[in-house]
Amino acid sequence: MATRQITRRLAVGAAVAVTIVFLLFFPPQGPASPAIRAPGHITHTTGDSRITIQDSTVMGDVVMPKLGNATAKAELGRATWKYFHTVMARFPENPTDDQQDALRSYIHLFARLYPCGECAEHFQQHLVKYPPQVSSRKAASGWACFIHNEVNAMLEKPEFDCNNLGAFYDCGCAEEEGEAGNEPSGSSHSSATRADTKSDSAHEHLAVEISKEATTRG
């Protein structure tokens, strides 16, 4: 009996010792890092991580190939114009220099990376002739509508009524202005009056003269 107990204790002690040694020299591994799961997709940088964009990157050649599917091209165009006009309509009325540079760079990169290669080339040609106007929301929105009509003219489509831009591409700006004014829920204004106010507010930024800005970075 005593011999069995000693043997059992030795076996337990040996098992504990083996476990300790295993944990010390072979620690448990956690889930594989993203770099291991998808090698080549993640890079690690050291030092300054700020992004520097060169002029050649912002205004370089078109990236995407030709888009041959006419249906896909038309659907893409409709969705893109809605997004594009909404961006301009929500741009600050009094933007900082940094915000102006950001929008200008965005427009040029938008042209480079547009999924329809031939459309992107045509759009870049318009940007050369009529550079982005980014000094205010009014300037940006009016410029965008002007460019839209330049594209329509090239495609032999009817001219878009810029005075109707706010109603056709509703950016939601009028609702925000109403909330900012804390309009009481029991307002006596009729729905038609509110609609007219919304329409006027959305349209007032469209009258702008398109001119050629001096070329600047980004």
Residue 121 has pLDDT above 50, yes or no: yes
**Residue, of 38 and 203, whose pLDDT is higher:** 38
pLDDT recorded at residue 163: 84
pTM: 0.61
Place of tokens 């460019």: 147
pLDDT recorded at residue 52: 76
**Residue, of 168 and 35, whose pLDDT is higher:** 168
The band of 207, judged by pLDDT with boundaries at 50, 70 and 90, is very low
CA distance 127 to 158: 21
Integer angstrom CA distances of residue 45 from 40, 48, 113, 210: 13, 8, 25, 43
Q: What is the mean pLDDT of residues 152-179?
A: 77
**Residue, of 119 and 202, whose pLDDT is higher:** 119
Q: What architecture is the 55-203 domain classified under in CATH?
A: Up-down Bundle (1.20)
The band of 89, judged by pLDDT with boundaries at 50, 70 and 90, is very high
Residue 71 has pLDDT above 60, yes or no: yes
Average model confidence (pLDDT) for the chain? 75
CA distance 30 to 17: 24
Asked if 156 and 147 touch (Cβ cutoff 8 Å), the reply is no
pLDDT recorded at residue 140: 96
The band of 169, judged by pLDDT with boundaries at 50, 70 and 90, is confident
Asked if 142 and 162 touch (Cβ cutoff 8 Å), the reply is yes
**Residue, of 152 and 179, whose pLDDT is higher:** 152
Residue 110 has pLDDT above 90, yes or no: yes
Give residue-wise pLDDT tens across range 5-60: 666 776 666 666 666 656 666 665 655 555 555 555 545 555 556 777 888 899 89
Domain ranges for the chain: 2-27, 55-203
pLDDT recorded at residue 164: 77
pLDDT recorded at residue 38: 53
